[in-house]
Amino acid sequence: MKISELFDRYLGMELLKKLGIMLVAIIAAMAVGSVFVLMSGASPADAYYYMLVKPLSSITSLGEVFIYFTPLLLVGLGVSFTFHCKLSNLGGEGQILCGALGMTLVGITPIAKTLGPLSLVLGAIVGVLFGTRYATLAAWFRAMFNASEIVITLMLNYIAEQFISYIIFYHLKTGAEPQSPRVGYTIPKIFSNSRMNYGVLVALLLAVAYYIVVYRTKFGYNLQTLGGSRKAAKYGGVSAKRYYFYAMMISGGFCGLAGMMQVAGNTGRLMSGVAADFGFGGIVVALLGSLNPLGVVIAAFFMALISAGSVTMQVKTGIPTSFASILEALIVLFILLGMAVTAYLDSRKKVK
Q: How far is CA 103 from the centre of its chain?
A: 18
CA angle 339, 306, 206 (to 5 degrees): 75
pLDDT, tens only, 226-271: 888 888 888 888 888 899 999 999 999 999 999 999 999 999 999 9
Q: How confident is the model at residue 339 (pLDDT cuts 50, 70, 90)?
A: confident
Partnered with residue 271 across adjacent β-strands are: 179
Please tell me the predicted confidence (pLDDT) of residue 351.
Answer: 58
Note the maximum CA span of the chain: 72
Partnered with residue 179 across adjacent β-strands are: 271
Q: Give phi and psi for 337, each to the nearest 5.
A: -65, -40
Mean pLDDT taken over the chain: 91
Q: What is the mean pLDDT of residues 173-193?
A: 90
Pair 174, 167: CB distance under 8 Å: no
pLDDT, tens only, 10-59: 666 777 888 888 899 999 999 999 999 999 899 999 999 999 999 999 99
Please tell me the predicted confidence (pLDDT) of residue 204.
Answer: 97
Give 351's contacts (C-beta < 8 A, 6+ positions apart). none
Q: At what angle do helices 240-262 and 92-107 cross, to 10 degrees?
A: 50
CA angle 72, 77, 80 (to 5 degrees): 120
* pTM assigned to the model: 0.93
Q: How confident is the model at residue 290 (pLDDT cuts 50, 70, 90)?
A: confident
Res 91 pLDDT > 70:
yes
Higher-scoring residue by pLDDT: 336, 278: 278
Pair 135, 148: CB distance under 8 Å: no
Res 194 pLDDT > 80:
yes
* Domain boundaries defined on the chain: 1-42+321-352, 59-318
Q: How far apart are the first and last CA of the chain?
A: 20
Query: How many Cβ atoms sit within 10 Å of the Cβ of residue 301?
Result: 17
Res 92 pLDDT > 70:
yes
Res 1 pLDDT > 60:
no
Res 215 pLDDT > 90:
yes
Q: How confident is the model at residue 350 (pLDDT cuts 50, 70, 90)?
A: low
Res 8 pLDDT > 70:
no
Pair 185, 112: CB distance under 8 Å: yes
Please tell me the predicted confidence (pLDDT) of residue 176.
Answer: 75
Helices and strands of the chain, counted as H and E runs: 15, 0
Higher-scoring residue by pLDDT: 344, 264: 264
Please tell me the predicted confidence (pLDDT) of residue 154.
Answer: 93
The CATH classification number of 59-318 equals: 1.10.3470
Q: What is the mean pLDDT of residues 55-82?
A: 95
Q: How confident is the model at residue 6 (pLDDT cuts 50, 70, 90)?
A: low
Give 74's contacts (C-beta < 8 A, 6+ positions apart). 203, 206, 254, 255, 257, 258, 261, 282
